[in-house]
């Protein structure tokens, strides 16, 4: 490995499994000290134990402002500074408009969209004071299509994340801080194991579903100096399932 992020630090939410764990692993291999945040502390611990360098376990409910602030403060205190935030934590639902309850709606929005906002808000003073930093938000193909498989709440939350990323990018550019997004298609994780995704998987132009490492490698590029002139961009990683 080139260690192209040597000396950098990152906080990755939802990093106890799936895409978040893959990002933590790829980042750590490139020299990043990673704070692994997850609502499941045991899962976060397993990720940290698998990393090749120093890591930090943070039990965090991203829908709680108090928990987010405490987690961000802990990461900065432990590492001395925070260079990268990856807002990956999220949940999916397949409920139809008719079946989506108010409780379902609130839970999806609070974790996926509000959680992204709270984490970004919490790191802003630190990154602005250093005139440096990168925020990477995980959106979704559902945010563009309206959710052909996922619920309307999930699609709305992910579309909101994409829009929030643009707002962050414009606000933070004068301070030397970048905000970018990644929009995964069908990635091989438990979230896409539902039969609702079968027809979409069969129609991927590149002929196969993506792997968590495909998203992690995109995040690595966006976090690096190679992407220093990229902000406000939402990168599609979907095997050609959606092209624009």
- Active-site position among 154, 155, 186, 209: 154
Is residue 243 one of the residues assigned to a domain? no
Question: Whole-structure pTM over 0.85, yes or no?
Answer: yes
* Domain assignment present for 62: yes
* 3 part of a folded domain: no
Whichever domain contains 210, its CATH number is 3.40.50.720
User: Tens digits of per-residue pLDDT, 57-114?
Assistant: 999 999 999 999 999 999 999 999 999 999 999 999 888 999 999 999 999 999 999 9
- Residue numbers of the domain that contains 54: 9-237
Q: How many domains does the chain have?
A: 1
Would 206 be classed as within a structural domain?
yes
Model pLDDT, residue 201: 83
For the stretch 123-162, pLDDT in tens is 999 999 999 999 999 999 999 998 877 899 999 999 999 9
Residues 202, 204, 205, 208: what is their CA dihedral angle, to the nearest 10 degrees?
-80
CA atoms within 13 A on the CB side of 4: 12
192 falls within a domain: yes
C-alpha closest to that of 2 among 26, 21, 30, 23: 30
The answer to whether residue 154 is catalytic is yes
Q: 2 in a domain, yes or no?
A: no
pLDDT, tens digit, 9 for 90 and up, residues 11-67: 999 999 999 999 999 999 999 999 999 999 999 999 999 999 999 999 999 999 999
């Amino acid at each position: 490995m080139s260690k192209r992020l040597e000396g950098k630090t990152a906080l990755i939410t939802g990093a106890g499994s799936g895409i978040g764990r893959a990002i933590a692993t790829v980042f750590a291999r490139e020299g990043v000290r990673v704070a692994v945040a997850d609502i499941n502390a045991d899962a976060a611990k397993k990720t940290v134990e698998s990393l090749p360098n120093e890591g930090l376990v943070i039990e965090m409910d991203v829908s709680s402002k108090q928990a987010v602030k405490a987690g961000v403060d802990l990461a900065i205190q432990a590492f001395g500074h925070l260079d990268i935030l990856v807002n990956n934590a999220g949940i999916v639902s397949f409920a139809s408009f008719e079946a989506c309850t108010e409780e379902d709606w609130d839970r999806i929005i609070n974790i996926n969209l509000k959680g992204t906002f709270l984490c970004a808000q919490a790191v802003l003073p630190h990154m602005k004071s250093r005139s440096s930093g990168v925020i990477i938000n995980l959106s979704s193909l559902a945010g563009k299509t309206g959710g052909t498989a996922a619920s309307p709440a999930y699609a709305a939350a992910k579309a909101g994340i994409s829009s929030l990323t643009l707002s962050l990018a414009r606000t933070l550019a004068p301070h030397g801080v970048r905000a970018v997004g990644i929009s995964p298609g069908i990635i091989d994780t438990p979230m896409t194991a539902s039969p609702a995704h079968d027809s979409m998987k069969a129609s991927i132009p590149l002929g196969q579903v993506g792997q968590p490492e495909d998203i992690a490698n995109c995040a690595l590029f966006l976090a690096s100096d190679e992407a220093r002139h990229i902000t406000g961009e939402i990168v599609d990683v979907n095997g050609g399932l959606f092209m624009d």
